[in-house]
């Protein structure tokens, strides 16, 4: 038996396999918003997109998600200091979409036509975002506050780890995961009326009361 032996211990191979979205953590949608607390199987970056659900898309097998390249082109990374025009437009849309929404019909446009035009445009729109998730046990946070009532939506996304590997789902053959949800209907309109009593000369009715009532 030799007096000495030489050997080396190789460094353990790094696992660069990408994680997956294990849960979207969907809350209960309202008539205009929805929230999510997504969990992933390993730390990474979650790139997501929210849009109205495509006609007939009832499950993952016929769902369609924007490509990872498209999401990245529209959602700036969280540490980005300079945004492209597309990324700035998406950021503005998510932050101020409701405030910038038209509130009055165009000249010659009925209220029904106005609402139909706005809703049709909304159904074609996509909102993009990115969330860094630092632990498989700590959920991220996504809030969508630009939704319409009684409308089916989808949120889909990809997980990219620090090695640049992207999620893959063997059950569907896709790199993305999809969650479907539907906003609730708006409350029914309440009927109301204003009436008043007074003398024939109307002297007994307070003009302030009438003005305040009509303003309300």
Residue with tokens 């609730």: 184
In Å, how far are 59, 73, 96, 123, 186 from 54, measured between CA atoms? Answer: 11, 22, 25, 9, 22
- The b-or-e profile of 203-216 (16+ CB within 10 A means b, else e) is eeeeeeeeeeeeee
**Per-chain mean pLDDT for the chain:** 82
pLDDT (mean) for 156-167: 91
Q: How confident is the model at residue 93 (pLDDT cuts 50, 70, 90)?
A: confident
Q: How far apart are CA 20 and CA 159, in angstroms?
A: 6
Query: Domain map of the chain by residue range?
Result: 21-189
* CB contact at 8 A, 166 and 68: yes
Burial class (CB in 10 A: 0-12, 13-18, 19+), 79: exposed
- Give the tens place of pLDDT for each residue, 3-13: 666 666 655 55
The whole-number pLDDT of residue 13 equals 53
Q: How confident is the model at residue 123 (pLDDT cuts 50, 70, 90)?
A: confident
- CATH number for 21-189: choose from 3.30.300.20, 2.30.30.60, 3.20.10.10, 2.60.40.10: 2.60.40.10
Q: Are strands 142-144 and 34-36 parallel, antiparallel or unpaired?
A: antiparallel
């Amino acid at each position: 038996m030799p007096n000495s032996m030489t050997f080396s211990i190789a460094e353990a191979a790094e696992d660069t396999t990408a994680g997956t979205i294990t849960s979207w953590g969907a809350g209960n949608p309202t008539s205009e918003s929805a929230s999510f607390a997504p969990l992933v199987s390993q730390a990474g970056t979650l790139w997501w997109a929210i849009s109205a659900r495509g006609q007939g898309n009832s499950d993952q097998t016929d769902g369609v998600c924007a490509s990872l390249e498209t999401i990245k082109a529209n959602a700036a990374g969280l540490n980005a200091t300079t945004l492209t025009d597309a990324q700035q437009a998406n950021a503005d849309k998510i932050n101020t979409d409701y405030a910038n929404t038209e509130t009055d019909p165009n000249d010659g446009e009925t209220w029904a036509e106005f609402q139909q035009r706005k809703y049709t445009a909304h159904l074609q729109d996509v909102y993009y975002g990115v969330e860094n998730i630092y632990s498989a046990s700590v959920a991220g946070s996504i809030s969508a506050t630009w939704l319409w009532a009684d409308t089916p939506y989808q949120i889909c996304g990809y997980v990219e780890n620090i090695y640049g590997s992207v999620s893959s789902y063997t059950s569907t053959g896709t790199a993305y995961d999809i969650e479907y949800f539907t906003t609730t209907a708006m409350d029914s309109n309440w009927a109301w009326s204003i009436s008043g009593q007074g003398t024939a000369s109307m002297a007994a009715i307070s003009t302030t009361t009438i003005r305040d009532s009509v303003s309300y």
